[in-house]
A and B are shown apart, each in its own frame.
Chain A
Amino acid sequence: QKEVEQDPGPLSVPEGAIVSLNCTYSNSAFQYFMWYRQYSRKGPELLMYTYSSGNKEDGRFTAQVDKSSKYISLFIRDSQPSDSATYLCAMRRNAGNNRKLIWGLGTSLGVNP
């Protein structure tokens, strides 16, 4: 079993829809949770990060962490064609010698005008 599971999609939605992107993980030691967006032929860019459980909101984006279920989500409200990209989740432990981010495979999202 992979440490982080993410459905690769593709996911296709109409403009204005609410999008829900999700990752599940197996290691309860993960404490930092991140979402990156990657446009075609570009490097990933950080969208949001959350420490431990709870919600975090930034404009149309909301990141949610449920540590009891080992489940994280990214919600996009009022989705726009410019949101069409691959969304990668990443997470890591809060441990001194562990420097690695564990990455999901990414979900490809298309928003149709």
Chain B
Amino acid sequence: NAGVTQTPKFRILKIGQSMTLQCTQDMNHNYMYWYRQDPGMGLKLIYYSVGAGITDKGEVPNGYNVSRSTTEDFPLRLELAAPSQTSVYFCASSYRVGTRSADTQYFGPGTRLTVL
């Protein structure tokens, strides 16, 4: 299993440009997540999905959009990139059944995005 894969690894955008960060998992996990990580600020949840066709906002959703058309893929869309979106973006997935589940999340290697 490849686990969680993310593309691209690095990207530089100009202010106002748009892009999609790709995330794929091959573990048949039902839950998927997008986080951003800034120095000294920890992991912030952007969006998450509990299954194909179902997504919900996290702590910092503004400026981002997601979709989940398949179990495997969970792309993150940045519209009108701003310098504040310079960050490292991590995709994660987990398998949850019912409420009593540890929800241990497996992370991808990250995408380093710089907006200039």
Binding site for B on A (CB under 8 A): 8, 32, 34, 41-46, 49, 51, 88, 92, 94-96, 99-101, 103-106
For the complex, would chain A's binding face be called helix, strand, loop or mixed by DSSP majority? loop
Residue pair B41, A105 in contact (C-beta under 8 Å): yes
Binding site for A on B (CB under 8 A): 4, 31, 40-43, 45, 48, 50, 58, 90, 92, 96, 99-100, 102-110
Q: How far is the CA of A105 from the CA of B43 in the complex (A)?
A: 7
Residue pair B107, A34 in contact (C-beta under 8 Å): no
For the complex, would chain B's binding face be called helix, strand, loop or mixed by DSSP majority? loop
Residue pair A94, B43 in contact (C-beta under 8 Å): no
Residue pair A49, B104 in contact (C-beta under 8 Å): yes
Residue pair A99, B103 in contact (C-beta under 8 Å): yes
Complex A-B: 28 CB contacts under 8 Å: A41-B110, A42-B109, A43-B4, A43-B90, A43-B107, A43-B108, A43-B109, A43-B110, A44-B43, A44-B107, A45-B107, A46-B104, A46-B105, A49-B102, A49-B104, A51-B102, A92-B103, A94-B100, A95-B99, A96-B99, A99-B96, A100-B45, A100-B48, A100-B58, A101-B105, A103-B43, A105-B41, A105-B42
